[in-house]
Structure 1
Amino acid sequence: MTSVLVLRDGLPGLHPLIQDLGGAGFTVLAEVDDRSKLVQAAVQHAPDLVVGEAARPDEALFKATQTLAEVLPRPVLLFTPDADAAHIERATGAGVHAWVVNGYGAQRLLPLARLAQARFEREQALLEQLRDVSQRFEERKLVERAKGILMRARALTDDGAFELLRNASMHTNQRLGQVSQQIIHSAHFADAVNRAGQLRMLSQRLVKLHLLRLADVQPRQQQALLDDSVQRVDANLAWLGKNTSAPSFGEPLGLLNGSWAPLKTALTGKPSPDRVALVADLADRLLQDAERLTTRLQSAGSVASLQVLNVAGRQRMLSQRFAQLTLLDLLGVDVGAADRAATLTAVQGDFERALAYLNGLPLSTPDIRAALDQAATGWQQMLAATPQDRRPAGRDRLARLETVANASEALLAQFESLSTHYERSMQMLMG
């Protein structure tokens, strides 16, 4: 039996509507005499049909039926003496399915109700078709974006990328659009984590390059690397500001920009011994702020494999921090000398534990394995330059300075490559 909510709007007692509805086989759930309470009553009673009478339909009534169509779509049958064409047109667009002018009659209730219901069902079917078309169109856009990511990351053709998506869809029992959205989401956060991780590394690399400039080791080369590092910090901060959510990441990004500005200023001009402590302190502030942002991005990404990318990216920072501390020892600069040995040991331990972790992961390809092997060799070269029992001097010191300069850049390049391999791996892209 069809249940009905009755709206009496300005026509009290004119027709025995409720009795006639009962006689026609409808169940009247409630009667509403205030149009502003129509939606509330519909939500409360959940009728199959809304039947109303309106003496003077106006915008307030149309807004009520429109809200009903948005909140709880139901067929609406409205009896009224109003034959205004503009009102009829407005009613049609506001969720009224049968607008009956001066046509009330008990014998007509059933066929008019069926008319309203049929129009409602047809309207809902068309809306469902439209939603389906819209969904397919949006999914197609997602698929194209995901294919572009796979083509760049995996060096695939358009057909190859689509085949990979289709296989992933079948294996995970998800729609193509869902798989594509997952890849887009993972790639976005992987890029963000990688860039924030680069800021950690650059904070320590800048100090290293500042010290090498101070020692006059390969001055032109080190100055070029320093200039490049400054540009990379600026570019990564700009990208993160543009491509991350301000409500979620605005605060750590603001701190990063605040840390970077004074460090950038301190790095200008000719290096001097009395500026080393300031540069090192400002770089450590930048490191801490970059670490905070990287951790937050990894957590927000909700992709377990982001941890692997974060660990690999952090190795870049540890390699540069170890190099920086080694240079301070070689140059005899008394910045944090009291705990430098302990710090150096701690950094070495962190690096070697992370390297063992990465070597033990099942997430591996021939490229990743080769990069890890090269990184292990580069790390041993770095350790060989570290002072042991005494501080070297003369040619020995110069040779060690050059070894640190070259080995740290080679190690950095290896972990940059490794981070890229992890970022582009299917396990990463599939979350």
Structure 2
Amino acid sequence: MAARRGAAYIRPVSSKLRITVVDADPERAHMIVDGLCEAGDFEVTVLGDDTGLARKLADLAPDVVLIDLANPSRDTLEQLSVATGANSRPVAMFVDRSDPEMTRAAIQAGLSAYVVDGLKKERIKPVIDAAITRFHMLSQMRSELNAAKAALAERKMIERAKGLLIQARGISEDQAYALLRKTAMDQGKKVAEVAQALITAAELLK
């Protein structure tokens, strides 16, 4: 396993899991790297501070981010969530102590794992596994929710377009939908796209 300090490291193409560790304490960072070495074959980069973290992580493109903090504030949680891209990769945070409010804040921030009572070497691999599993589960839920919202928006759009055709041409609902579908087929578009174009045109003609 290769470990590098600093965001200047340009990683070679590798199939290894890429892990970035954010820890200002060199001794703790060394312990984390040791724990990762014992747990498996990973490609690890250590960042000594979170200054410009979003840019550094964009350059490194890690698969997982591990953050070790003693006692983070709510603002710190939110800032780190944004900087690490918690919705686009698993992010695990280890803290020395916390409370129910901070735990809720961590969940709201989208962290895949929030481990209280500090970081212990033997806990690193299980936490990574749990963080990755939870991240993928939440990502699937978000995708399904977004797909459902998009489908509902399309249905509403089509219903509105049908209403415009019924009013303008004096045709039935079934005939209005058939016209939308035929137009979509003729133009190689989705019915929702034709419906949106019709609604936009109707708005312009008001």
Q: Structure 2 length normalisation: TM-score?
A: 0.81
C-alpha spacing 1:48/1:99, structure 2 compared with 1 (3 Å): same
**Could you tell me which residue of structure 2 aligns to residue 131 of structure 1?**
146
Structure 1 residues 71 and 81: CA distance shift in structure 2, 3 A? closer
Determine if contact 1:68/1:74 at 8 Å carries over to the other structure: no
Q: Secondary structure at the match of 1:73?
A: coil
Match of 2:32 among 3, 8, 17: 17
Q: Counterpart of 2:23? A: 8
Is 2:42 the partner of 1:26? Answer: yes
> 2: CA distance between counterparts of 1:137 and 1:36?
41
Is 2:32–2:124's contact at 8 Å kept on the other side of the alignment? no
2:158 aligned partner, one-letter code: V
Percent of paired sites with the same residue: 28
Q: Which residue of 2 aligns with 1:79?
A: 94
Task: State TM-score, norm by structure 1.
Answer: 0.41
**How many angstroms does 1:65 deviate by?**
3.0
Alpha-carbon shift at residue 95 of structure 1 (Å): 1.8
Q: 2-side partners of 1:69 and 1:151: how far apart?
A: 50
What is the alpha-carbon distance in structure 2 between the residues aligned to residue 169 and residue 136 of structure 1?
17
What's the counterpart of residue 88 of structure 1?
103
Superposition RMSD in Å: 2.2
How far does the alpha carbon of each residue in 1:42-77 deviate from its partner, in whole angstroms, 9 at most, with x for none? 212111000110111112321223314668621011
Q: If each structure's strand is expressed as a fraction of its own residues, which one has the higher value? A: 2
State the Cα deviation string for residues 196-226 of structure 1 (Å, max 9, x = none): xxxxxxxxxxxxxxxxxxxxxxxxxxxxxxx
Q: Structure 1: which 4+ aligned runs deviate by more than 4 Å?
A: 69-72
Counterpart Cα distance in 2 of 1:150 and 1:20: 66
Q: Give me the whole-angstrom Cα distance separating, in 2, the residues matched to 1:100 and 1:172.
A: 54
**Residue aligning to 2:113:** 98
Q: 1:70 to 1:102 in 2, by over 3 A?
A: closer
Equivalence map 1:214-293=2 (5 Å): none
Larger radius of gyration: 1
1:57 to 69, 72, 77: 72
Task: Give the 3-state SS of the residue equivalent to 2:150 in structure 1.
Answer: helix
Gaps of 5+ in 2: 1-15
Taking the aligned partners of 2:187 and 2:153, their CA distance within structure 1 comes to 20
Cα 1:70–1:3 shift into 2, 3 Å? closer
- Out of 165, 173, 183, the residue aligned to residue 168 of structure 1 is 183
Q: Distance in 1 between matches of 2:164 and 2:77?
A: 47
Trace 1:19-418 onto structure 2 (pairs within 5 A): 19-23=34-38, 24-28=40-44, 30-68=45-83, 73-102=88-117, 104-189=119-204, 191=205
Give the whole-Å Cα distance in 2 for the aligned partners of 1:174 and 1:123.
32
Distance across 1 between alignment mates of 2:87 and 2:187? 34
Contact 2:71 2:98 in 1 (8 A): no
**Residue aligned with 2:71, SS:** coil
